[in-house]
Amino acid sequence: MAEEQTKVEPEPAEKAPAKPERTTQRRPARKDAAGNVVFIGIKPVMNYVLAVITQFNEGNGEVVLKARGRAISRAVDVAEITRHRFLKELVVKDIKIGTEEVTGDRGTSNVSTVEVTLVKGA
């Protein structure tokens, strides 16, 4: 149950079929030094909030939310809801924005990305 929640698939429309270097991001979230990753897609916000809470309850000190395109605003929602309503000790450690090339039906296009790193505050 917990593991299924952890691996949240990106929304199908945003999948890039031919970018081998990105396949590492599709693996199930690992518990390593970089912290666990929750991919934000098109599911309801609370699904992702639950995934983040699960990560912290499993003992992780850091969780990274990753989103692309229109899911970026949902990632911000997930971060805000989690830290204001559920885990009030959470702190936004870092926010990064970037651009990825996505190869879709209509050729290559650029999509914005965001990474929000949440950590348990002191």
In whole angstroms, the minimum distance from the beta carbon of 4 to its own copies comes to 26
The CA–CA distances, whole Å, from 109 to 10, 28, 80, 112 equal 17, 26, 29, 10
Q: CB of 62 within 8 A of CB of 35?
A: yes
Please, which residue, 53 or 81, has the CB nearer to its own copies? 81
In whole angstroms, the minimum distance from the beta carbon of 122 to its own copies comes to 20
d(CA 91, CA 73): 18
Q: What are phi and psi of 74, to 5 degrees?
A: -65, -35
In whole angstroms, the minimum distance from the beta carbon of 97 to its own copies comes to 5
- Contacts with its own copies by CB under 8 A lie at 69-73, 76-77, 79-80, 84, 92, 95-99, 110, 112, 114, 116
Please, which residue, 87 or 92, has the CB nearer to its own copies? 92
Please, which residue, 2 or 91, has the CB nearer to its own copies? 91
Please, which residue, 61 or 98, has the CB nearer to its own copies? 98
Per-residue 3-state assignment (H helix, E strand, C coil) for 48-83: HHHHHHHHHHCCCCEEEEEEECCHHHHHHHHHHHHH
In whole angstroms, the minimum distance from the beta carbon of 43 to its own copies comes to 16
